[in-house]
């Protein structure tokens, strides 16, 4: 791309699928802005999307193929992979090999991977990390609608009078949709009800928050179905014309009285009735649900309990109405379309239907189409562990850190005879276990399509050259397929693959299947290049795509009627006990993505929350002897992790929350999935990531330290450490369990030995075991270390800003004290990443009269760009007002 040129593409993070404009600037960098024409975001981006330009560093990139750690070339690497898979299949059969892929892949990559495995190798052992994200929604859709169809569109959030958010921290996990909802609330008074055990940034927008017990959603929505029937809110015409099984589902729902629901959910019956009345009396209702619903041993039942209420009221597929599953990943939906889940065939076809198997086999001219579903993620890695899977290819994901029971999965991968990993980086735990590493192109380099949560297909376009010898995933998979002797993989460009994918969706379809891209099967290369975002189905009848489905029935079951599914409340698969008395919930934070492979490269994203934390209710903190800033050991029956204590009444009693992002290389001690067991939903196979019995205890750390450094420190020897990038280097939190009387021994190596005449070291010790040491080179700060027997209290944001700056005598005193002078007040922890505005600045502005979120925006710009921080500003406003009132 030439300087000044722009390319329209799509954000690679969450399932909102925002349109992005990338512009090459004069100094070779990339400027990012929201695409005003993209119907997902109309120009908005959240903090992660806005910071995409910060993530093009070649640090940590995998640039060439490697075999057993040695640099190789593509020829040798392809031969090695093809031979490894072919020999394993010959010796042990097709089910002895597996692919584990990712919602980060583009649809074209996914399509080719699925075709190779299910059509040609002859096994359905291909599953995806989307199994961990939304498999329960897929299963729930198929049970109710006969197809995996999301009925509505994002626009419905703006047209609804009531939006119910279930198990979704929408503000942090799908920020642009949250902003669209917040704008609708402001413009037309949309009511918002949040159903979530936690109080989160999302609950700031809520008119009502129902903090139900984890896992009790089926009881809640069954209670709602019963209430709807009692209060005459059932749409009998829709139910009788377009559905089946209503009476049985209602009977199940009515088995639990209101007091029974209150007991199962731990919700006040009056609040329950208020929620039920609001739903019953409001025609235009959208129920949005996400991982809090899906990641459960009863996730599919939860989905159907929600869908039952919408079918009963006929509120589906109409303006401002419907159940709405929001996916976590940018292309989870594309993966579903091509059959990236082990239990699906391509183009939403099913293994259970012999006609579908026949259609796919004939279309692909597949010699060896898999006859039955393959292994879902948890079972797949169990078979790797038991040795039945002997060759594994992992693409664009990190199961050794992100699967439940991650340490066991990691050991299983390590013992697997042949492991191939394609990725953009070699720093993940899974990459470190690979026999063959293949460098894949990343965002901005690769070309293809993705589908967002509203069925909208958008182009991801390349605008920078691939790093090193990296290649697109579809090309890598195709080359291996050709060397395994298979025909049908001579693709030269992604447009060819997309046309084939569209043609398969249309092949002998005739309106019998929901996924239909017949209108795009003859797309020219130019048409593909210029493809504008469109919602499937796209057919002759619907050339411009389809906004909504099912308002007039027309479901994809044999009878064309939707199924009510009779569901009953069941407790989660694991129980708390005296040994593990608390429930661990895990999830995302605002400014990081998955295991931080990309977002960890951005200094501004790393400044929002710079280390792993465990949120604990104050009563539990008191019971377990934990104070703010302590390093806490969180232990389950599977293992233990360390994270910093965040004590907050926003967390429900009896539960703790830990974010999913910190793993190697940023904080290997905090890999939360090492705690999670492998209980799964029996229908969807989705793991129960939101309910793990744990205990917490204060980890005995004899000293704590905070440091900034202009070079990456090696912290591997410390029991607790968390590393984050800054604009001029690195910052780290460290803690050790060895006794100290002065500067901790292990930290001495971080400072230069001071041989150069330009290097000056200065230090301070407080006589109580704490102190600080600084180094300047040619007058500029290169290192600062603060240590203390207690959690270190210094002005972190200010110290980060001092790195690389000229320091005079006066500022050196301030540095040693770790305190900003009155002339340079400390910003505090960063709240607004776009304008790098900290909590202290916002609080000061509020004390100076900024009495609303907008007024803070006027004073400091905070919250005026991406808007992701507006709920945190709102919370600071409440806290400041409360303090002022005391």
Tell me which residues touch ligand SF4 (CB under 6 A). 11, 13-14, 16-18, 41, 45-46, 48-49, 174-176
Q: Minimum distance from CB of 63 to ligand SF4 (Å)?
A: 26
Report the nearest approach of ligand SF4 to the CB of residue 16 (Å): 4
Contact 666, 600 (CB under 8 A): yes
Q: What is the Cα–Cα distance from 699 to 268, expressed in whole angstroms?
A: 37
8-state DSSP, 40: T
For the CB of residue 678, give the shortest distance to ligand SF4 in the complex, in Å: 29
CB of 40 to ligand SF4, least distance (A): 7
The pairs formed by 708-715 with CB atoms below 8 angstroms and a separation of 24 or more are 708/732, 708/781, 708/783, 708/784, 708/799, 708/800, 708/802, 708/803, 709/750, 709/782, 709/783, 709/784, 709/803, 710/782, 710/783, 710/803, 710/804, 711/782, 713/750, 714/749
Angle at 300 between CA 616 and CA 353, to 5 degrees: 150
Helix (H) or strand (E) holding 444: none
For residue 58, count CB atoms less than 10 angstroms from its CB and return exposed for 0-12, middle for 13-18, buried for 19 or more: exposed
Q: Which is nearer to ligand SF4, 52 or 672 (CB)?
A: 52
The secondary structure of 81-106 as a DSSP string is HHHHHHHHHHHH-GGGEEEEE-TTS-
Question: Which residue lies nearer to ligand SF4 by CB, 18 or 621?
Answer: 18
- Please, what is the minimum distance in Å from the beta carbon of residue 878 to ligand SF4? 25
Q: Looking at beta carbons only, is 330 or 545 nearer to ligand SF4? A: 330
Q: Which residue is nearest to ligand SF4 (CB)?
A: 49
Q: Which helix (H) or strand (E) holds 289?
A: strand 285-289
Closest CA to 665 of 327, 398, 873, 385: 398
Task: Specify whether the CB–CB gap between 831 and 842 falls below 8 A.
Answer: yes
At residue 108, φ and ψ (nearest 5 deg) are -65, -40
Q: Which is nearer to ligand SF4, 170 or 275 (CB)?
A: 170
Task: State the DSSP code for 318.
Answer: S
| Shortest Cβ 188–ligand SF4 spacing (Å) | 22
Shortest distance in whole angstroms from residue 686 CB to ligand SF4: 21
Helical segments of 599-711, H only: 603-606, 618-623
Residue with Cβ nearer ligand SF4 (48 or 796):
48
Among 849, 848, 840, which Cα is nearest to 876's? 840
Q: Based on CB atoms, which residue is closest to ligand SF4, 329 or 652?
A: 329
Minimum CB–partner distance for residue 588 and ligand SF4 (Å): 10
Residue number, 49 or 339, with CB nearest to ligand SF4? 49
| Separation between Cα atoms, residue 456 and residue 449, nearest integer Å | 10
Instruction: Kindly tell me which of 13 and 120 has the beta carbon lying closer to ligand SF4.
Output: 13
Q: Which is nearer to ligand SF4, 594 or 638 (CB)?
A: 594
> Least distance to ligand SF4 from the beta carbon of 589, Å?
12
Nearer to ligand SF4, 450 or 785 (CB): 450
Nearer Cβ to ligand SF4 (154/786): 154
Note whether 82 and 90 are within 8 A (CB): no
Query: Please, which residue, 126 or 192, has the CB nearer to ligand SF4?
Result: 192
CB of 660 to ligand SF4, least distance (A): 15
Q: To the nearest whole angstrom, how small is the minimum distance from the Cβ of residue 10 to ligand SF4?
A: 8
**C-beta of 45 vs 234, nearer to ligand SF4:** 45
Residue 176 or 484: the one with the smaller Cβ distance to ligand SF4 is 176
Min dist. Cβ of residue 331 to ligand SF4 (A) = 11
CB of 49 vs ligand SF4, minimal distance in Å: 2
Determine the Cα–Cα distance for residues 351 and 195; give it in Å rounded to an integer. Answer: 35
* Cβ neighbour number for residue 551 with a 10 Å cutoff: 18
In which order are the strands placed within the sheet that holds 534-535? 448-451, 456-460, 534-535
| Min dist. Cβ of residue 460 to ligand SF4 (A) | 11
The span from the CA of 585 to the CA of 591, in Å, is 19
φ and ψ of 731, to 5 deg:
-130, 155
Tell me the closest approach of the beta carbon of residue 178 to ligand SF4, in angstroms: 8
The nearest distance, CB 306 to ligand SF4, in angstroms, is 23
Find out whether 171 and 332 touch, Cβ atoms under 8 Å: no
Which DSSP symbol is given to 115?
I
Of 441 and 866, CB closest to ligand SF4: 866
**What distance in Å separates the CA atoms of residue 326 and residue 337, rounded to the nearest whole number?**
15
Nearer to ligand SF4, 171 or 380 (CB): 171
* Min dist. Cβ of residue 174 to ligand SF4 (A): 6
Fill in the DSSP letter of residue 684: T
Looking at the Cβ atoms of 566 and 868, the one nearer to ligand SF4 is 868
Please count the other Cβ atoms lying within 10 Å of the Cβ belonging to residue 382.
Answer: 18
CB atoms within 10 A of CB 540: 9
C-alpha distances (whole Å) from 536 to each of 299, 340, 556 are 26, 18, 15
Rounded to the nearest 5°, which phi and psi values hold at 120?
-120, -45
612 Cβ neighbours under 8 A, 6+ residues apart = 641, 642, 643, 644, 658, 659, 661, 662, 667, 669, 670, 722
- Nearest-Å Rg of the Cα atoms of the chain is 27
For ligand SF4, the closer of residues 174 and 357 by Cβ is 174
Q: Distance between CA atoms of 277 and 198, rounded to whole angstroms?
A: 23
Nearest 5°: phi and psi at 785?
A: -125, 130
CB of 590 to ligand SF4, least distance (A): 10
């Amino acid at each position: 791309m030439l300087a000044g040129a722009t390319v329209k593409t799509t954000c690679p993070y969450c399932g909102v699928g925002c349109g992005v404009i990338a512009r090459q600037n004069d100094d070779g960098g990339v400027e990012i802005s929201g695409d005003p024409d993209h119907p997902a975001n109309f120009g908005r981006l959240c903090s992660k999307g806005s910071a995409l330009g910060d993530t093009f560093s070649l640090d940590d990139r995998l640039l060439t193929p490697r075999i057993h750690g040695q640099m190789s070339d593509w020829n040798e690497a392809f031969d090695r992979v093809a031979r490894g898979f072919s020999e394993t299949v010959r010796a042990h059969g097709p089910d002895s090999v597996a692919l584990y892929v990712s919602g980060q892949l583009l649809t074209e990559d996914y399509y080719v991977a699925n075709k190779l495995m299910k059509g040609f190798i002859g096994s359905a052992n291909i599953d995806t990390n989307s199994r961990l994200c939304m498999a329960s929604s897929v299963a729930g859709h198929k049970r109710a609608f006969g197809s995996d169809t999301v009925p509505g569109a994002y626009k419905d959030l703006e047209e609804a009078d009531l939006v119910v958010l279930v198990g979704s921290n929408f503000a942090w996990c799908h920020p642009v949709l949250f902003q669209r909802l917040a704008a609708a609330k402001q413009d037309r008074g949309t009511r918002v009800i949040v159903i979530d055990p936690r109080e989160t940034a999302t609950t700031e927008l809520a008119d009502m928050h129902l903090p139900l017990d984890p896992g009790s959603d089926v009881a809640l929505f069954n209670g709602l179905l019963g209430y709807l029937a009692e209060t005459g809110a059932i749409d009998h015409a829709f139910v009788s014309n377009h559905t089946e099984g209503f009476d049985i589902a209602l009977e199940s729902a009515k088995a639990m009285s209101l007091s029974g629901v209150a007991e199962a959910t731990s919700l006040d019956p009056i609040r329950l009735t208020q929620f039920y009345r609001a739903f019953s009396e409001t025609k235009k209702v959208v129920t949005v649900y996400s991982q809090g619903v899906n990641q459960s041993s009863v996730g599919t039942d939860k989905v159907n309990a929600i869908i039952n209420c919408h079918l009963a009221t006929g509120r589906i597929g109409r303006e401002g109405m419907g159940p709405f599953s929001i996916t976590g990943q940018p292309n989870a939906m594309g993966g579903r379309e091509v059959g990236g889940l082990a239990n699906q065939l391509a183009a939403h076809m099913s293994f259970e239907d012999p006609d579908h198997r026949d259609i796919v086999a004939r279309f692909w001219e597949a010699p060896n189409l898999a006859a039955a579903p393959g292994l879902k993620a948890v079972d797949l890695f169990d078979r790797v562990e038991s040795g039945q899977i002997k060759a594994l290819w992992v693409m664009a994901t990190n199961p050794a850190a992100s699967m439940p029971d991650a340490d066991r999965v990691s050991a299983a991968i390590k013992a697997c005879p042949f492991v191939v990993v394609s990725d953009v980086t070699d720093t993940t735990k899974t990459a470190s276990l690979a026999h063959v590493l293949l460098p894949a192109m990343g965002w901005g380099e690769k070309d293809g399509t993705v589908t967002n949560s509203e069925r909208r297909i958008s182009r991801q376009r390349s605008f920078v050259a691939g790093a090193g010898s990296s290649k697109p995933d579809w090309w890598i998979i195709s080359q291996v397929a050709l060397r395994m002797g298979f025909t049908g993989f001579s693709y030269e460009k992604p447009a060819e693959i997309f046309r084939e994918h569209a043609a398969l969706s249309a092949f002998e379809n005739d309106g019998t299947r929901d996924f239909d891209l017949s209108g795009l099967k003859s797309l020219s290369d130019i048409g593909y290049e210029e493809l504008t975002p469109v919602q499937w189905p796209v057919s002759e009848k619907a050339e411009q795509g389809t906004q909504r489905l099912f308002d007039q029935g027309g479901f994809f079951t044999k009878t064309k009627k939707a199924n009510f599914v009779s569901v009953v409340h069941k407790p989660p698969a694991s129980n708390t006990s005296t040994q593990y008395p608390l429930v661990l919930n895990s999830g995302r934070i605002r400014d990081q993505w998955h295991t931080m492979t990309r977002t960890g490269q951005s200094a501004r994203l790393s400044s929002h929350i710079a280390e792993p934390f465990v949120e604990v209710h104050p009563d539990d903190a008191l019971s377990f002897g934990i104070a703010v800033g302590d390093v806490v050991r969180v232990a389950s029956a599977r293992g233990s992790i360390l994270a910093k204590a965040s004590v907050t009444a926003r967390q429900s009693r009896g539960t703790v929350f830990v974010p999913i992002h910190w793993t190697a290389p940023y904080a290997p001690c905090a890999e939360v999935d090492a705690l999670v067991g492998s209980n799964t939903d029996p229908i969807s196979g989705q793991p129960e990531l939101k309910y793990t019995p744990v205990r917490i205890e204060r980890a005995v750390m004899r000293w704590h330290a905070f440091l900034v450094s202009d070079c990456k420190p090696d912290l591997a020897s410390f029991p607790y450490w968390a590393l984050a990038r800054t604009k001029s280097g690195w910052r780290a939190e460290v803690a050790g369990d060895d006794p100290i009387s002065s500067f901790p021994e292990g930290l001495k190596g971080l400072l230069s030995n001071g041989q150069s005449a330009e290097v000056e070291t200065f230090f301070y010790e407080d006589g109580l075991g704490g102190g600080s040491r600084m180094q300047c080179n040619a007058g500029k700060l290169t290192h600062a270390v603060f240590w203390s027997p207690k959690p270190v209290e210094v002005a972190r944001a200010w110290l980060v800003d001092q790195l690389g700056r000229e320091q005079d005598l006066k500022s050196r005193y301030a540095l040693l004290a770790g305190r900003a002078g009155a002339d340079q007040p400390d910003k505090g922890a960063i709240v607004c990443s776009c304008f790098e505005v900290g909590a202290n600045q916002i609080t000061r502005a509020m004390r100076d009269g900024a009495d609303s979120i907008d007024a803070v925006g006027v004073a400091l710009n905070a919250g005026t760009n991406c808007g992701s921080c507006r709920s945190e500003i709102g919370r600071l406003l409440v806290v400041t007002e409360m303090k002022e009132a005391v």
